[in-house]
Amino acid sequence: MKKSLQWRFLLIGISVLVSFVCFLPSTPLFSSMPGWWKTIMPNQGINLGLDLQGGMHLILKVEAEKAVATSVDRMVKNISDDLSAQKDARLEVVKEDTGFSVTAQDATSKEAARKLVSERYQDFAVKREDPTAISYYLTDEEQKRIKDAAISQALETIRNRIDQFGVAEPVIVRHGTDEILVQLPGVKDPRRAIDLIGKTAVLEFKLVDDNADVQKAIAGDVPVDSELLYEKNVDRQTKQETKIPMVVKQNALMTGDVITEARVAIDARFNEPYVAITFDSIGSTLFEKITEENTKKRMAIVLDGTVYSAPVIQEKISGGRAQITGKFSQEEAKDLAIVLRAGALPAPVTIIQNVTVGPSLGQDSIDAGIRAAILGTILVILFMAIYYRLSGVIADVAMILNVVMLLGALGLLNATLTLPGIAGIILTIGMAVDSNVLIFERIREEIRAGKTIRSAIDAGYDKAFVTIIDAHVTTLITAAVLFQFGTGPIKGFAVSLSLGVIINLFTALVGTKVVFDLMTSRRSLKTLSI
Amino acid sequence: MMEFFKKPNIDFIGKRSYAFAISGVFILLGLIALFQISRGAANMGIDFAGGTTVQLKFEKPIPLDEARKALDANGVHDAELQEFASDNKLLVRVRNDVSQGKVADQIVDIFSKTFADNKSVVDSSTEIGPTVGKTLRHDTLIAITIAILCIIIYIAFRFEFKFGVAATIAVFHDVMAVLGIFYMMNKEINLLFVTALLTLGGYSLTDTVVVFDRIRENIRAHRKLGTGDVINRSINEVLSRTVVVSLTTLLACVSLAVIGGEVIHDFAVAMTLGILVGTYSSIFVASPIVFLWRKKKKGKLG
């Protein structure tokens, strides 16, 4: 055997071996490998996409403008307090869209206001000014900073919640300017996950306005400084939902940001779960003061605008502990504890994309894909063997090598296999013999033209080479574009298609050539089975 | 040796008027589909249009009209239903604004309440907001444009400019034909279908490149032959190859379409159609365009 032949066989042998080793972790066989193998050799293999293993793919839009609005609200309140504290200044502050305006009675007051704002609130800039009033707006940079911070914080909060919820290998990343991409593989209860992630979780303690007439409030006549909220009640037996209207004071006495710990406990008397919360030192002091001042009044515990419970304050509560009761199920209580621990989102989020795949569909898809791959392979193998006989069989072997190496390459790159990715592999099976067909047809032509077998083979490979390159490059261009612009499943298709095409160059040009060279090197062939 | 064609000698160029007539119909269909898509009258998938789909798998067969009645009675109107009768699967599609509420959950609840004795599991559910669809439409258009530009540049670089244009027209023809056929079949036009279109575009180009390679080779080798003869000769020479290659890829695609499962079915059908049309177009569209172009130029010179 010629030396170059040996080298080429060795190269093919090694490639196949490496492919097997790389693909091994993706098979059930891997679990029975010895321990040293699992640590030294590739051990990650091919990841299954969400469409194959089941799970959730969410894109959340953070309504960052709301975070800006909240900040502006708070700052304007401070400014308003500061300005009214100024001696002799007669000023009126009115909140505007993303800023405020100060109306002054006289020039001195106006200058005082200008001085104060420019000293203490440098994030505001003058929008317009007339003799009696100045209108300020929050600068674009500051708005952008607040939005950015809100999105980062939302990301962090959601990550915390998911970590505590317990999902294996979640993906939580920023997506675009104001979106968050969340992928939860194999999540069992999608609804619960969405409730947990999407909850803004702003907890507020508000006094119930007992003087107000609830019926009037429902009709639209709500007292100034108060608001109408509902307490949701679910009957355990009938699952019937009832809403109890309640008028509460608009100003929250306290909010949930002082909570340090929240956990589920069981009420011994009714055997019902509740959430026990612990406040930090500021919170404890505040809570003590509030409960002391409002003894015998009702305090509503409000989460995202819904009243959970509204107990009567029996006495001053010190020690920084409180309970949130409500008609919870065990799971609801657990999730409430999670969101209270992880904290509130700085702005509400809306789900703009939710793709959930159940585990059974994923398995069905894998099974159907494998069946289609096997059928396609058998048909192509049979056709090639019948049409090109021995040469066809050689091409078939190269095609199988192509698929083996493709799987190996996917394993080596820890690529994510999606359903379209499986389609890409099957397409590769069909296209893998393409190059060899080109070569074989060329060889046939050369033989018809009267060349010897050996030179016909060489000419066939040489002349078909350019065409094969052209054909592969055009496919690679489309695959590259698909990879760049496609979403998850489509990317998987682009990856398997482009890897398949590249590997095909090797198996078709090197893999089959070496067999022909071996055949012609032993003896001079008079006929070729093609 | 086994051959489909023994020394074929078919006058492909001579049949160009028939071919152009057929292709004209294909392109017209495609343009109608494009027009309908742009005015929102085509069967767009929710990934482009926004909305909700839920696929449920039942224990027993579920009659479509009962399912529709149940949805209507519970406030989900205008749902489109599709069943995969072989394994009792039902696909419900609603074009709604996702941010308005949880329609997917609502649909699941309706079925579990109304058909309590025929239990169902959720195979998949997808909710896509209108802004996502808009972004996706935009990105898709950019992707298609870039792909076409790259292809023209590559072919123009490897061949003459007119080959590049002819190849691009052939690819455009194939994409239009498959788009038109899908529109006529009222199949859903979604992201996976666009992927199939781009892929079959690439595939069709490969086919055309093989024919062009031979034409280029023969133009150099047979300087005395007329353009039409050179092109006919080239197509005849590579005819076996063109047919065999399409056949092997077709075998894989048809396997996928027949037993590959419902999710990938339309993709496989689109690819199958694309391979057929792509093979036709490299012979009957791309080559005659090169012929006409060269003939015109020669006529001026002569």
Domain ranges of chain A: 3-50+359-522, 65-142, 204-341
| Distance (Å) from the alpha carbon of B120 to chain A's nearest alpha carbon | 12
Alpha-carbon distance A286 to A280, whole Å?
10
Chain A CB contacts of B261 below 8 Å: 364-365, 367-369, 372, 419
Please name the member of A352, A367, A497 whose beta carbon is closest to the beta carbon of B132: A352
Q: What is the CATH number of domain A3-50+359-522?
A: 1.20.1640.10
Contact B142 A485 (CB under 8 A): yes
Provide the CATH topology of domain A65-142: Alpha-Beta Plaits (3.30.70)
> Which residue in chain B is spatially nearest to A480 when comparing CA positions?
B147
Contact A475 B202 (CB under 8 A): yes
* Per-residue confidence band for A169, with pLDDT thresholds at 50, 70 and 90: confident
Helices (H), A316-418: 330-342, 359-412
In contact, A247 and A208? CB cutoff 8 Å: yes
pLDDT, averaged per 10 consecutive residues of chain B (302 residues), comes to: 81 91 95 90 86 89 88 85 82 76 83 87 87 82 83 82 86 94 92 88 86 89 87 92 90 92 90 94 92 72 36
**Predicted local distance difference test score (pLDDT) of residue B302:** 32
Q: What is the largest CA-CA distance in chain A?
A: 115
Write out pLDDT tens, residues A101-160.
888 888 888 888 888 888 888 888 888 888 888 899 999 999 999 999 999 999 999 999
Contact A486 B129 (CB under 8 A): no
Contact A473 B191 (CB under 8 A): no
Domains in chain B, CATH or no CATH each = 13-44+132-301 (1.20.1640.10), 51-127 (3.30.70.3400)
**Predicted local distance difference test score (pLDDT) of residue B300:** 44
Neighbours of A34 (CB within 10 A): 7
Alpha-carbon distance B97 to B76, whole Å?
13
Q: A1 pLDDT exceeds 70?
A: no
| Distance (Å) from the alpha carbon of A135 to chain B's nearest alpha carbon | 34
A-B contacts at Cβ under 8 angstroms: 217
Q: A73-82, A315-324, B251-260 — which one is most confidently predicted on average?
A: B251-260
Chain B CB contacts of A396 below 8 Å: none
- Among B248, B276, B279, which would you mutate to test the A interface (most chain A Cβ atoms within 10 Å of its Cβ)? B248
- The pLDDT mean for chain A works out to 87
- ipTM topping 0.85: yes
The CATH architecture of the domain made up of A204-341 is: 2-Layer Sandwich (3.30)
Q: A185-194, A382-391, A500-509 — which one is most confidently predicted on average?
A: A382-391
Phi-psi region of B78 (alpha: psi -120 to 50; beta: other; left: phi over 0): left
Q: What is the largest CA-CA distance in chain B?
A: 83
Q: What is the pTM of this model?
A: 0.82
Residue in the block written with tokens 């001579």: B14
- Long-range own/partner contacts, residues A250-253 (CB < 8 A, 24 or more apart): A250/A206, A250/A225, A250/A226, A251/A206, A251/A225, A252/A204, A252/A205, A252/A206, A252/A302, A253/A205, A253/A206, A253/A207, A253/A286, A253/A290, A253/A294, A253/A299
The set of residues, in sequence order, having a beta carbon less than 8 Å from that of B93 and lying 6+ positions away, is B46, B51, B52, B53, B79, B80, B81, B82
Chain B CB contacts of A351 below 8 Å: 98-99, 127, 129
In contact, A160 and A344? CB cutoff 8 Å: no
Write out pLDDT tens, residues A124-135.
888 888 888 889
- For residue A235, the SS3 value is coil
Contact A477 B151 (CB under 8 A): yes
Q: A29 pLDDT exceeds 70?
A: yes
